[in-house]
Amino acid sequence: DTGVSQNPRHKITKRGQNVTFRCDPISEHNRLYWYRQTLGQGPEFLTYFQNEAQLEKSRLLSDRFSAERPKGSFSTLEIQRTEQGDSAMYLCASSSFGQNTEAFFGQGTRLTVV
């Protein structure tokens, strides 16, 4: 499978715990994005990497959220001190370089904070 891969697919955690998600983009894509989607809403942009550089971050991204892409390949999204409001689907997408290129999404990680 050469699509965008995300792990884990589901995560249940207790409030206050830290969680980390992983995204493996399509291998030749140098752009990687994280989005968050809640029920009844479209995906909301969180952050974007070009190679290993984090070039954009949403104002939605509180200081409890951090993302990395250390070698310009896979990326991790960590949420510290989780809150119930963090419960959502976290989607990763990747695209090739260019002005208008389609982003391809992974299956997402469903986070439930109890």
Partner 1 sequence: EDKVVQSPLSLVVHEGDTVTLNCSYEVTNFRSLLWYKQEKKAPTFLFMLTSSGIEKKSGRLSSILDKKELSSILNITATQTGDSAIYLCAVYQGGSEKLVFGKGTKLTVNP
> What's the CA gap between 54 and 52, in Å, rounded?
7
Q: How is residue 75 written in tokens?
A: 């990326």
**Does the protein bind partner 1 through residue 30 (CB under 8 A)?**
no
> What's the CA gap between 72 and 29, in Å, rounded?
10
> Shortest distance, CB of residue 10 to partner 1, whole angstroms?
11
**Does the protein bind partner 1 through residue 4 (CB under 8 A)?**
yes
**Does the protein bind partner 1 through residue 55 (CB under 8 A)?**
yes
Nearer to partner 1, 14 or 40 (CB): 40
> What's the CA gap between 20 and 88, in Å, rounded?
14
**Does the protein bind partner 1 through residue 2 (CB under 8 A)?**
no
Near partner 1 by CB under 8 A: residue from 23, 88, 91, 111: 91
> Shortest distance, CB of residue 81 to partner 1, whole angstroms?
25
Start-to-end CA distance of the chain, whole Å, equals: 33
**Does the protein bind partner 1 through residue 105 (CB under 8 A)?**
yes
Which residues have a Cβ under 8 Å from the Cβ of 51 and sit 6 or more positions away? 30, 69, 72
**Does the protein bind partner 1 through residue 41 (CB under 8 A)?**
yes
Answer for the pair 56, 30: CB distance below 8 angstroms, yes or no.
Answer: no
Binding site for partner 1 (CB under 8 A): 4, 31, 33, 35, 40-45, 48, 50, 55-56, 58, 89, 91, 99-100, 102-108
